[in-house]
Amino acid sequence: MTNAKHPDRPDLATRLAQPFGEGSGSITPPIYQTSLFGFEDFDSFADAMAGRNGLDIYTRVGNPTTRTFEEMMASAEQTDAAIGFASGMGAVSAVAFAFLKPGDRIAAVEHLYPDAYRLFERLLRPFGIHIDYHPVSAFEDDPDLMRGCRLAYLESPTSIMLQTADLARIAAHARRHDCLTVIDNSWATPVFQRPATLGIDVVLHSASKYISGHSDTVAGVVCTNQDLTDRIRDISLPLLGGKLAPFEAWLLIRGMRTLAARMQTHQATANLFVERLADLPHIIAVNTPDPGSVPGLDGRSGLLSVAFAPTIDMKAFVDGLSLFKPGVSWGGFESLVLPASVALGQKGEQNALQRFGVPASLVRLSLGLESSEDLWTDFTNAFHQAGSAQRVPVQHNKNGGNHETATDNTGRRVLASGDIGGGGHKPQAG
């Protein structure tokens, strides 16, 4: 089957399922589990060190197994190249230290990944880099918001609140001000969103999530054009040392083979939950973007958040679950639950949930690959055990939680009346 928009280009699922083709007949690539590469003679070694023959020298810089994964990711995201890292934060850090210097300014979206926020506040700000945080709507609506900024850091949808953005519009604003745009595309994956085709400069992933899909790998990846890739390879990759290891790369290759199929299953279960949550009492809001709610977003992943009425005992709900396990991260075969109240209590310095006012009544669900009916039964059994108050009208925030927050008379950030971070949309099926 071919891509309707590009008849000469096979669909992503077909491209990712292609056998490894280096001539041996092996369907899967070998794992080059080596730290270094030897040479036959002085001249070949000297040429490699001088960069004349393109041969690998040291796995911290390059490895054939890692390169196979990087080529798959570049193909999936439709960029010139990709670089794998040892974690998603390794990818974020590599981009930051490759392109920023003291005195530069970052415009970052609110409700970003908590450790990206901590990187900005605990490392970059003390180095003299200025960071301003804005609602996603501000990036869209203010053409001059990125004036004077070196880098715009985006998520669409954002972490836990799942607010979406018109990426093509933001990219056009950024180009007018020579501002580099960077987005975390972990939620949508290239199956449902390809930001580079919308004009975004750098696309990164926590590959630990859907790219792996098996909850057995910690990894990250950066996908971008060749010039920006070369700068990251020249500065961040060799000097920060966060390179992806061969075995993890091989696990990610395995995950990529089934990415398209897995995302369809996650989406089907998410759609079922969105439809049925609209009729469930004691739910205030459901945060998940609808496919097509912004240009370029073609599907819905299995990560969503739900705001409970005060009548629901969060601890009783979580402890009453059987198939959903309490835990961080997401994107694997297993279903997980993360109460915001637990994340708000994370040790250490302030995190993004605290800074941007995520309510303790919110719970994040990562819907896995189990039977959707079994998951729904597990959810509703625990939910009904956790509370029995009057029905509360539901808001399905189909564009994510794009409502502005306000400040009460104590200076704390609070949500607008009757809203849990949402745009006030009526409940409807996805």
**Residues 93 and 120 sit within 8 Å (Cβ to Cβ):** no
CA–CA gap between residue 135 and residue 108 (Å, rounded): 9
Question: Using only C-alpha atoms, what is the Rg of the chain?
Answer: 22
Residues of the chain with pLDDT under 50: 1-2, 4, 7, 389-392, 402-430
**Residues 189 and 199 sit within 8 Å (Cβ to Cβ):** no
CA–CA gap between residue 150 and residue 88 (Å, rounded): 21
Residue type, 234: D
Spell 399-418 as b/e; 16+ CB within 10 A means b: bbbbbebeeeeeeeeebeee
Tokens 């958040």 sit on residue: 305
Top-tier CATH class for 16-257: alpha beta
329-368 pLDDT, tens digit each: 999 999 999 999 999 988 878 889 999 999 999 999 999 9
CA–CA gap between residue 202 and residue 81 (Å, rounded): 10
Triad 334, 76, 236: Cα angle to 5°? 90
5-49 pLDDT, tens digit each: 554 557 888 888 877 766 678 888 899 999 999 999 999 999 999
Among candidate residues 224, 212, 220, the one with its CA nearest the CA of residue 243: 220
Cα torsion 367, 368, 369, 372: sign = negative
pLDDT of residue 400: 65
Residue type, 278: A
CA of residue 50 relative to chain centroid, distance: 37
Domain boundaries along the sequence of the chain:
16-257, 260-415
CA–CA gap between residue 413 and residue 405 (Å, rounded): 7
CATH topology of domain 260-415: Aspartate Aminotransferase, domain 1 (3.90.1150)
Strand (E) or helix (H) holding 205: strand 202-206
Cα torsion 348, 354, 360, 364: sign = negative
pLDDT of residue 393: 53
pLDDT of residue 395: 64
